[in-house]
A and B are shown apart, each in its own frame.
Chain A
Amino acid sequence: KQEVTQIPAALSVPEGENLVLNCSFTDSAIYNLQWFRQDPGKGLTSLLLIQSSQREQTSGRLNASLDKSSGRSTLYIAASQPGDSATYLCAAPSGGYQKVTFGTGTKLQVIP
């Protein structure tokens, strides 16, 4: 059974700082991994979908990497802004099951 862990659970940084969010997964037999953003009381918004054939995927100030061998993915946010404040979740396919397992998320606060 796939287990997805995100550490830290919460992170507070000053505006302008570069930061890294971590995601680890137990079943490395995955073909891709997704990162989502969730604002308070709202649904999830897909940020990046990174295929296992890609070591990195970039969108604007966001860069996601995937290392299947170590069971880890990182989301790098450059030059953080207060508008980046949200909870960030990663999700990995559950091997053998037609579903996706989500991590518990990292709640990010960017302080002006």
Chain B
Amino acid sequence: DGGITQSPKYLFRKEGQNVTLSCEQNLNHDAMYWYRQDPGQGLRLIYYSQIVNDFQKGDIAEGYSVSREKKESFPLTVTSAQKNPTAFYLCASSIEAATSFSTDTQYFGPGTRLTVL
């Protein structure tokens, strides 16, 4: 089955600790995205990648880092510099990166809920 997987489903982090959220897709999509979702707020873009070995900051990149060494993988690291990391994190992919002129449907993973202890 084609799709996007995220792991773990739940993650707990201690203060000052870095954690990495996994995102894998087997849809052969070029573009991948990381969003953060907080109660009462829409999804906010953290980072996106249009192609392997390339990624761009989104609206709230501070305290986060990513890598795109393989087409199918786009891991997100939440660093200790992120002061309020408790949130629901969603990974998505699309055939091509969204532009103001066209948007392919984004396919979402099931999400990872991160809680800071």
A-side residues, CB < 8 A to B, are: 4, 29-32, 34, 36, 41-46, 49, 89, 91, 93-105
The distance in angstroms between the C-alpha atoms of A4 and B45, with both chains bound, is 14
Judging by beta carbons under 8 Å apart, are B105 and A95 in contact?
A: no
Task: State the main secondary structure of chain B at its contact with A.
Answer: loop
Check B67 for interface membership: any CB of A closer than 8 A.
no
Q: Can you name 15 A-B pairs with beta carbons within 8 Å?
A: A41-B111, A42-B111, A43-B108, A44-B43, A93-B100, A93-B103, A98-B56, A99-B33, A99-B45, A99-B48, A100-B98, A102-B35, A104-B40, A104-B41, A104-B42
A-contact 0/1 string along B1-25, CB 8 Å cutoff: 0001010000000000000000000
Check B76 for interface membership: any CB of A closer than 8 A.
no
Judging by beta carbons under 8 Å apart, are A99 and B58 in contact?
A: yes
| Contact among A41, A49, A98, A105 with B99 in the assembled complex (CB-CB below 8 Å) | A98
Q: Which residues of B contact A32 (CB under 8 A)?
A: 102-103
Judging by beta carbons under 8 Å apart, are B100 and A96 in contact?
A: yes
B95 to chain A, nearest CB (A): 12
Q: Which residues of A contact B113 (CB under 8 A)?
A: 41
Q: Which residues of B contact A4 (CB under 8 A)?
A: 42
With A32-B102, A93-B99, A100-B103 known as contacts, the answer to whether A43 contacts B110 (CB < 8 A) is yes
With A42-B111, A105-B42 known as contacts, the answer to whether A31 contacts B105 (CB < 8 A) is no
Judging by beta carbons under 8 Å apart, are A103 and B106 in contact?
A: no
B23 to chain A, nearest CB (A): 11
Check B90 for interface membership: any CB of A closer than 8 A.
yes
